[in-house]
A and B are shown apart, each in its own frame.
Chain A
Amino acid sequence: MSRAVAERRTLPAPSGPGMAATVVVLAILGAGVWAASDLGINVATLVDSVGNAADFARRMFPLDFPSAGELLRLCGTTLAIVVSATLLSVLLSVPAAVLAAGNTTPNAAARVGSRAAIVLARAVPDVVLAIVFIRVFGLGSMAGVLAMGLHSVGMVGKLYADAVEQIDEGPRTAVRAGGAGRSQELASGVLPQVLPAFVSTALHRFDINLRVSVLLGFVGVDGLGFAIASAFRELDYRRGMALAFVVLVLCVLAELLSGAIRRALTRAPLSRARPAPGRISPPWTPSRVRRNVYGLVAALVVLASLWGAELSPAGFVDGLSRLGTTLGLFWPPETGGILPDLLTALWVTVKIALAATLLGAVLALPIGVLAARNVAPSPRVGAVFRGLIVLIRGIPELVLAVVFVVLTGLGEVAGTLALAVGAVGLLGKLVADSLEEVDERVENAVRATGATRWQVFASATVPQAAPAFVGHVLYQLDVNIRSATLLGIVGAGGIGFYLQNASRVLEFGVVTTVLLLVFALAMAVELIAVWLRRVAG
């Protein structure tokens, strides 16, 4: 017996899923190293761009802000478009979700149809929709509202459907048992349960759309983005960067505001006030007053936005009549004789995404570790790094790309660095969150053996969080590929350049080809990700 124990192996035989996960991550990181060196991103380039910083500062400072009136108009237009677009996506997503959710759908056909529409909305990038709609409705707000509104249904509709599927069926059954009809059942049994999730998702999408609106400015949608694009086209970096700074401030403010609203929603408002005998409407407690004020403010913001976005129903109807002919312009797909160039650019896009994922992971890991409450050396350090992550998340990728274009010149290096820095915002947060979510009892058990801080980290914290890292890196790669396809629009390398160029010179068949290529790439990544998740468990 004792002999047998002595002869047993003290290291386990390599296991299937664990091995596969390790191989996958190593492969992605290896590909990242190769891509980075192939794109010419190395210490020398980085040193170079640091050297450029002085030059950059000279070209950028002093920032040149437009007049207060003009600035207000630009911010107002952007916010109006973004609010209207988000509202549109909510209005479309609610019925889409009811049809798509397994528990509320009237029949299988409606369910499949609605799910397909949601997937399609997500698959077509908002920039492409904007290019189409600008042809149809002209420059201005309408195209932006429709493009962002429709594309957002891909995310909002999906999350709404998930929320509906997760409800407690009990209240709904009870309402049905009282003889309520279908619409009453939805309003009284389902809606109150999903309302907080609905509002929180809408706010989240508002944040995202605010960032996206900058990009749409580069293809002609009115607002801050449009002004930034015009400034850069005229090489007026002082004005361009000033406006980019304004966008950053708006994004951070929006993020703070929506965060506060979301937190307020999850706190159950308690009304313990004793009603006067026989009164049949709730008393005006401070929390009820507050809720009503919020509601009123929200309604005013929406109304002001609809008015500010200058959406004219006549223009809409007029445009719709042209929709058929315009879509005809985009079909059939054409290569414009530049197919090899397109494929090369697509390949560059893949390399940008890979390299940016590697660099992003290298940056995000230490930052995420230092931001995790249970690992950070002191609460102060943890708070500082959390703050850094939030700040980076606040910067729209396009603004980062624009900064790096100015810093390192046009091309893929700018795109890679922009995505890498942007990845810190997402990946750093995911790393910190998954470290904080580990089971504390395991950590304490190891700590109780007298282990040092590093030993606890290595043998209790990391093993628990590690499986999540694999998923996060894959997710970041997926996000990076989607973003990388668009970077070219601001001159930061890859296939996006051709998207922008073809639409400008009115070669809409080429736009379709680019779109199909991008779509195929996204699908391929999605399939690989699904497969990897299965293999790596």
Chain B
Amino acid sequence: MHDVVTFQRVSKRFGATLALDEVSLSVPEGQIAVLLGLSGSGKSTLLRHVDGLQRASAGSVSVLGTDLATASGARLRALRRRVGFVFQQFHLVGALTVLENVCTGALGTLRGPRLGLFTYPKRVRQEALGHLDRVGLAEQAFQRADTLSGGQQQRVAIARALLQRPEILLADEPVASLDPESAGQVMGLLREISAEQNLTVLCSLHQVDLALSWGDRVVGLRSGRVVLDRQAAGLGRDEAMAVYSAVARVPAAA
């Protein structure tokens, strides 16, 4: 199976902070890779590099055959169309309906600006409704997005990303605001879709147990460095928890 995401010695600097420190990582097609790490360890930053929302200070990032150091304009947009992103804070437009929020996922394939549900083609609306149904929110389709609970908004964000029919899905703590049961449901959903469509998933989590039960692979970050990179199967809970300890006890992954 070929790699769809390749990081080669990628570093990212924000002033004095080194958010990513020589990260090298390859993710093969269809894999569910889970990122673990303390707050501020660089998980969000890593995900943002995959979608070209941030650019590496050093090293190279290649996604679906596109070199992100040089991609810009139409080429970057074409890549982003193939990569879905579910953000930590959902990032929905509160004043718009739930369905219209999902429809914005199709903007990359449409021409020109859109505002108002009726400006989206019927097939887009139908497909969007299908995804909403899949995440269990078809009934809320015409409510304003800001009237939903955090967990519901998270699922809308997932539906929006799915409407892109992405080849890679980036999910930044997609279950952070959910109760344990809904968290399990959402992770199950991601797994199901990944299996159906051979979708590659990069997902950051704070729950070691979820990572071990739903991920194919676990990548641990500490202060921007990869300190653990193993298949989930056979990885012990304590070994994974060590990512969170203050001093590095786990030897850096090969």
Closest beta carbon of chain B to A388's beta carbon, Å = 36
Q: Which residues of A contact B113 (CB under 8 A)?
A: 183-184, 186-188
Asked if A174 is at the interface of the complex by the 8 Å CB criterion, the answer is yes
Q: Could you say which of A170, A176, A184, A269 contacts B89, with CB atoms under 8 Å apart?
A: A170
Known: A176-B53, A176-B80. A275 touches B141 (CB 8 A): yes
In angstroms, Cα B34 to Cα A121, docked, is 55
Pairwise interchain contact B104-A193, C-beta atoms closer than 8 A: no
The total of interchain contacts (Cβ-Cβ below 8 angstroms) comes to 121
Closest beta carbon of chain B to A226's beta carbon, Å = 39
Bitwise interface map of A from 151 to 183 toward B, beta carbon under 8 Å scored 1, else 0: 000000000000000001011011111111101
Q: Which residues of B contact A183 (CB under 8 A)?
A: 112-113
Asked if A191 is at the interface of the complex by the 8 Å CB criterion, the answer is yes
How many chain B residues touch A (CB < 8 A): the figure is 51
Asked if A95 is at the interface of the complex by the 8 Å CB criterion, the answer is no
Q: Which residues of B contact A272 (CB under 8 A)?
A: 143
Closest beta carbon of chain A to B212's beta carbon, Å = 28
Please give me the residue from chain A that is nearest to B104 by CB atom: A188
Asked if A278 is at the interface of the complex by the 8 Å CB criterion, the answer is yes
Known: A270-B147, A282-B117. A184 touches B112 (CB 8 A): yes
Pairwise interchain contact B142-A283, C-beta atoms closer than 8 A: yes
Pairwise interchain contact A180-B104, C-beta atoms closer than 8 A: yes
Pairwise interchain contact A270-B143, C-beta atoms closer than 8 A: yes
Pairwise interchain contact A178-B104, C-beta atoms closer than 8 A: yes
Pairwise interchain contact B91-A282, C-beta atoms closer than 8 A: no
Pairwise interchain contact B142-A273, C-beta atoms closer than 8 A: yes
Bitwise interface map of B from 45 to 86 toward A, beta carbon under 8 Å scored 1, else 0: 000000101000000000000000000000001111111110
Asked if B114 is at the interface of the complex by the 8 Å CB criterion, the answer is yes
Q: Which residues of A contact B87 (CB under 8 A)?
A: 170, 173-174, 177
Bitwise interface map of B from 107 to 137 toward A, beta carbon under 8 Å scored 1, else 0: 1111011110110001001100100000000
Asked if B242 is at the interface of the complex by the 8 Å CB criterion, the answer is no
Pairwise interchain contact A180-B108, C-beta atoms closer than 8 A: yes
Asked if B43 is at the interface of the complex by the 8 Å CB criterion, the answer is no
Pairwise interchain contact A280-B80, C-beta atoms closer than 8 A: no
Question: Which range holds the interface residue count of chain A?
Answer: 35 or more
Asked if A271 is at the interface of the complex by the 8 Å CB criterion, the answer is yes
In angstroms, Cα B216 to Cα A111, docked, is 48
Asked if A422 is at the interface of the complex by the 8 Å CB criterion, the answer is no
Pairwise interchain contact B117-A178, C-beta atoms closer than 8 A: no
Pairwise interchain contact A179-B77, C-beta atoms closer than 8 A: yes
Q: Which residues of A contact B204 (CB under 8 A)?
A: none
Q: Could you say which of B93, B138, B164 contacts A192, with CB atoms under 8 Å apart?
A: B93
Q: Which residues of A contact B146 (CB under 8 A)?
A: 268
Asked if A195 is at the interface of the complex by the 8 Å CB criterion, the answer is yes
Asked if B174 is at the interface of the complex by the 8 Å CB criterion, the answer is no
Asked if B243 is at the interface of the complex by the 8 Å CB criterion, the answer is no
Pairwise interchain contact B85-A177, C-beta atoms closer than 8 A: yes
Q: Which residues of A contact B83 (CB under 8 A)?
A: 177
Asked if B32 is at the interface of the complex by the 8 Å CB criterion, the answer is no
Q: Could you say which of A175, A268, A274 contacts B144, with CB atoms under 8 Å apart?
A: A268
Pairwise interchain contact A195-B78, C-beta atoms closer than 8 A: no
Asked if B92 is at the interface of the complex by the 8 Å CB criterion, the answer is yes
Asked if B97 is at the interface of the complex by the 8 Å CB criterion, the answer is yes
Pairwise interchain contact B78-A275, C-beta atoms closer than 8 A: no
Pairwise interchain contact A192-B53, C-beta atoms closer than 8 A: no
In angstroms, Cα B83 to Cα A270, docked, is 33
Asked if A428 is at the interface of the complex by the 8 Å CB criterion, the answer is no
Q: Which residues of B contact A187 (CB under 8 A)?
A: 113-115
Asked if B37 is at the interface of the complex by the 8 Å CB criterion, the answer is no
In angstroms, Cα B125 to Cα A282, docked, is 11
Pairwise interchain contact A171-B92, C-beta atoms closer than 8 A: yes
Q: Which residues of A contact B228 (CB under 8 A)?
A: none
Pairwise interchain contact A275-B139, C-beta atoms closer than 8 A: yes
Q: Which residues of B contact A193 (CB under 8 A)?
A: 93-95
Residues 425 to 443 of chain A near chain B (Cβ within 8 Å) = none
Q: Which residues of A contact B95 (CB under 8 A)?
A: 192-193, 195-196, 268
Asked if B105 is at the interface of the complex by the 8 Å CB criterion, the answer is yes
Pairwise interchain contact A178-B105, C-beta atoms closer than 8 A: yes
Closest beta carbon of chain A to B139's beta carbon, Å = 6
Known: A179-B78, A280-B126. A171 touches B117 (CB 8 A): no
Bitwise interface map of B from 134 to 163 toward A, beta carbon under 8 Å scored 1, else 0: 000011011110110000000001001100
Please give me the residue from chain A that is nearest to B82 by CB atom: A179
Q: Could you say which of A174, A186, A278, A281 contacts B85, with CB atoms under 8 Å apart?
A: A174
Please give me the residue from chain A that is nearest to B146 by CB atom: A268
Asked if B96 is at the interface of the complex by the 8 Å CB criterion, the answer is yes
Q: Which residues of B contact A149 (CB under 8 A)?
A: none
Asked if A189 is at the interface of the complex by the 8 Å CB criterion, the answer is yes
Closest beta carbon of chain B to A287's beta carbon, Å = 11
Closest beta carbon of chain A to B83's beta carbon, Å = 8
Closest beta carbon of chain A to B117's beta carbon, Å = 6
Q: Which residues of B contact A269 (CB under 8 A)?
A: 144
Q: Which residues of B contact A274 (CB under 8 A)?
A: 139
Known: A269-B144, A271-B142, A275-B141. A178 touches B114 (CB 8 A): no
> Can you pick out 28 interface pairs between chain A and chain B where the beta carbons lie within 8 Å of each other?
A170-B87, A170-B89, A170-B90, A174-B85, A174-B87, A174-B104, A174-B157, A178-B80, A178-B104, A178-B108, A179-B81, A181-B77, A183-B112, A186-B113, A187-B114, A188-B104, A188-B114, A188-B115, A192-B115, A195-B95, A268-B95, A271-B143, A271-B144, A274-B139, A280-B122, A281-B118, A282-B97, A282-B117
9 shortest interchain CB distances as A-B pairs? A179-B108, A187-B113, A179-B81, A170-B91, A174-B91, A179-B80, A180-B107, A280-B125, A177-B85
Interface positions of A (Cβ within 8 A of B):
168, 170-171, 173-181, 183-184, 186-189, 191-193, 195-196, 268-275, 277-278, 280-283
Given contact pairs A178-B81, A178-B107, A192-B95, a sample of 17 additional A-B residue pairs in the complex whose CB atoms are under 8 Å apart: A173-B91, A174-B92, A177-B80, A178-B84, A178-B106, A179-B79, A179-B164, A184-B107, A186-B113, A189-B93, A192-B96, A192-B115, A195-B95, A270-B147, A271-B142, A282-B99, A282-B142
